[in-house]
Amino acid sequence: MRNIKFKNLLLSIFIMLAFLFASCSGANKAPEQKKQAATYPLTITDSYNRQVTIDKRPERIVSVAPNITEIIAALNAKDRLVGRTDYCDYPQDISSVESIGSLMEPNIEKIVSLKPDIVIASSHFKKESLEKLEQLKVKVIVLNGAETFDGAYETIEKVGQVIGEKEAADKIVSDMKKKVEEVKAKVKDAPKPKVYYVISYGKFGDYTAGKGTFIDEAIKMAGGTNIGEDAQGWAYSLEKIVKNDPDIIICSKYFDTKAGISSTAGYKDLRAVKEGKLLEIDNNMLDRQGPRLAQGLEELAKLIHPELFK
């Protein structure tokens, strides 16, 4: 059981880092374009700079990314979702939808067998997979917005356009923007405690979100100061953490991360850990460019400034 947890944690760390690297590199950002009405046929420029034309409202959709799956569910189109990846775990009842495998190595034969009207992918989706599906006459669109809140809004809006739920997508984005502004206003004049965000630690390697990353931006928006600004390629060190002495350490609530940090040499002696300031968050809300992003920001702000959210 311990080996299984270890392997799952390593795989999750890899997926998280791959997502963050891919999103922040800007390699697959779609060029700016005017919003289009949700009428068909509809042509959209995707993140591989391809002009994709959707002839009719898709009734059979395959999602190849957790954030895309969450968006489709939030748009009340879950009943049209016929395929999702092993990592699509939200909402909880999404497990009833058939899996097409992993993010980076989806089962092409399985996708084809589901006879989708459209396959919607995001980060991690390889061009080799795209080319194989195109050869098999399967329509694919890749939507991987910039690693910012605006990038998330754009992705939600485009998914809404693609599946014919533009009005619902606009409402989600509007509500998210309102929530973000509310959080920013609450923490505007508050002190800015030093925060360390754990992506990985100890024997798994010390990794955090450095300057210019999305999580760095979120920490600042939530009223904190990110001590990991000087991270090099996401890599950090226990020595640097000790030197910068964070007031708050934030980690994932999954894989017993808090318990692991609390019992790991060096980490367990940090002031924040000793003072009960090692705090957990559902990192999926922040790692995924989906409709829970604004909620994730609010949860982050509540951890940094609980006194403002009583």
Structural domain contains residue 88: yes
- 216 and 112 part of one domain: no
- 213 and 304 part of one domain: yes
- 56 and 93 part of one domain: yes
Q: What is the mean pLDDT of residues 88-99?
A: 96
- 68 and 148 part of one domain: yes
112-116, 187-191, 229-233, range with the lowest pLDDT: 229-233
34-43 pLDDT, tens digit each = 444 458 999 9
- 42 and 130 part of one domain: yes
- 132 and 193 part of one domain: no
Structural domain contains residue 238: yes
CATH number (domain holding residue 33): 3.40.50.1980
Domain boundary among 131, 164, 197: 164
13-36 pLDDT, tens digit each = 555 555 454 444 443 444 444 444
202-216, 219-233, 248-262, range with the lowest pLDDT: 202-216
- 153 and 191 part of one domain: no
Structural domain contains residue 230: yes
- 199 and 260 part of one domain: yes
Q: Name 110's Cβ contacts closer than 8 Å, sequence gap at least 6.
A: 83, 98, 100, 101
256-287 pLDDT, tens digit each = 999 999 999 999 999 999 999 999 999 999 98
Structural domain contains residue 16: no
Backbone angles phi, psi at 106, to 5 degrees: -70, 150
- 66 and 143 part of one domain: yes
Q: Alpha carbon of 221 to those of 23, 79, 163, 191, 297: distances in Å?
A: 19, 35, 32, 12, 8
Structural domain contains residue 106: yes
8-17: long-range pairs with CB below 8 Å, 24+: 8/255, 9/204, 9/255, 10/204, 12/254, 12/255, 13/199, 13/200, 13/204, 13/205, 13/207, 15/87, 15/103, 15/124, 16/199, 16/283, 16/287, 17/199, 17/200, 17/207, 17/234
- 87 and 118 part of one domain: yes
Per-residue pLDDT at 233: 83
Q: What is the DSSP letter of 275?
A: T
> What mean pLDDT, rounded, does the chain reach?
90
CA dist., res. 100 & res. 86, Å (int): 7
Q: Name 308's Cβ contacts closer than 8 Å, sequence gap at least 6.
A: 186, 187, 190, 223, 301
Domain count for the chain: 2
- 157 and 196 part of one domain: no
Whether the Cβ atoms of residue 121 and residue 143 lie closer than 8 Å to each other: yes
Domain boundary among 164, 199, 229: 164
Structural domain contains residue 3: no
- 298 and 237 part of one domain: yes
Per-residue pLDDT at 297: 97
Range of the domain at 84: 28-164
